[in-house]
Amino acid sequence: MTTDSPAVRLTDVRLDRGGHTVLAHVDLLVPRGSITAVLGPSGSGKSTLLAGLTGELQPAAGSIEVLGAPLPRHKRALLQLRKSIGVLLQGNGLLTDLSVADNIALPLRAHTRLPAAVIDRLVAMKLHAVGLRAAGELYPRQLSGGMARRVALARALALDPPLMIYDEPLTGLDPIASGVIMGLIARLNATLGLTSIIVTHHVHETLPIADRTIVIANGRIVFSGTPAQLQATDDPLVLQFLRGDADGPIAFDATAREEAA
């Protein structure tokens, strides 16, 4: 693994589900330390791309490199790699019978042999990082949507992964909570030296913190560039997505081609 290599590199990747090609000819380079926004309408293939990045779905063609090495095919090596990838799920995935502190401690207890006192200290640090230092004894049912999302983020950071993937981080959040989460993602990326990939259809909330943007539609990447270049584009397909137009080159029934992304 080399530190000067990109955090993620996809070269002419094809991803299939159930014998059907969802994404084809995907080329993607994510520089270390950057925030890359993966945008696109529901059903465009964003979740399939995420599955490819985490090794849940092996490419039918092309190559995927994560953190300077080819994506492993063997289960043990893949599990080891996943310890270096933090994933914030759109549904949070918090266990309702565990306290906030125990939810965050779960990956530390499962994947390390650290003493209990050290784990408790690390949990406190993660809670402080997301602004919830006093919430450790609460349970998920006692949390607001924004608080639950921050707890899930603290858990995703528990093993200090260099690469973070955010799967629709603003789903179900009000505008204020959305702003808090986006600001937190940007701050943590800078202070912890992370690389972040945000998979989302929330364009206007995501662009202000992104360094690079890609847009997925009709089974391929239709745009790759900076947020400023995206906002200046005259591509009719990209403009349809940005404006939310019902009519255009992106079919309205795109969700029938893939699971909701």
Write down the pLDDT at residue 255. Answer: 45
Write down the pLDDT at residue 111. Answer: 92
**Assigned domain for 86 exists:** no
> Which tens digit of pLDDT belongs to each residue from 126-180?
999 999 988 989 999 999 989 999 999 999 999 999 999 999 999 888 899 899 9
Query: Tens of pLDDT along the chain (261 residues)?
Result: 445 689 999 999 999 998 899 999 999 999 999 999 999 887 788 889 999 999 899 999 999 999 999 988 888 888 888 899 999 988 888 999 999 999 999 999 999 999 999 999 999 999 999 999 889 899 999 999 899 999 999 999 999 999 999 999 998 888 998 999 999 999 999 999 999 999 988 888 999 999 999 999 888 899 999 999 998 988 887 888 887 766 666 665 544 444 444
Instruction: Please give the Cα distance from 44 to 22 (Å, whole number).
Output: 8
**Assigned domain for 47 exists:** no
**Assigned domain for 71 exists:** no
Q: Which domain holds residue 136?
A: 95-159
The closest alpha carbon to 153, from 190, 182, 116, 174, belongs to: 182
**Assigned domain for 105 exists:** yes
The closest alpha carbon to 203, from 37, 88, 92, belongs to: 37
Write down the pLDDT at residue 25. Answer: 93
Instruction: Please give the Cα distance from 150 to 178 (Å, whole number).
Output: 11
Write down the pLDDT at residue 261. Answer: 44
**Assigned domain for 113 exists:** yes
Cα-atom radius of gyration of the chain, to the nearest Å? 18
**Assigned domain for 15 exists:** no
**Assigned domain for 206 exists:** no
Spell out the residues 6+ positions from residue 50 whose beta carbon is closer than 8 angstroms to its own: 87, 165, 167, 199
**Assigned domain for 140 exists:** yes
How many domains does the chain fold into? Answer: 1
The secondary structure of the chain as a DSSP string is: --TTS-SEEEEEEEEEETTEEEEEEEEEEE-TT-EEEEE--TTSSHHHHHHHHTTSS--SEEEEEETTEEPP-SHHHHHHHHTTEEEE-TT----TTS-HHHHHHHHHHHH----HHHHHHHHHHHHHHTT-TT-TT--GGGS-HHHHHHHHHHHHTTT--SEEEEESTTTT--HHHHHHHHHHHHHHHHHTT-EEEEEES-HHHHGGG-SEEEEEETTEEEEEE-HHHHHT---HHHHHHHHT-SSSSS-TTGGGGSS--
CB atoms within 10 A of CB 172: 14
Tokens 């090794």, residue? 55
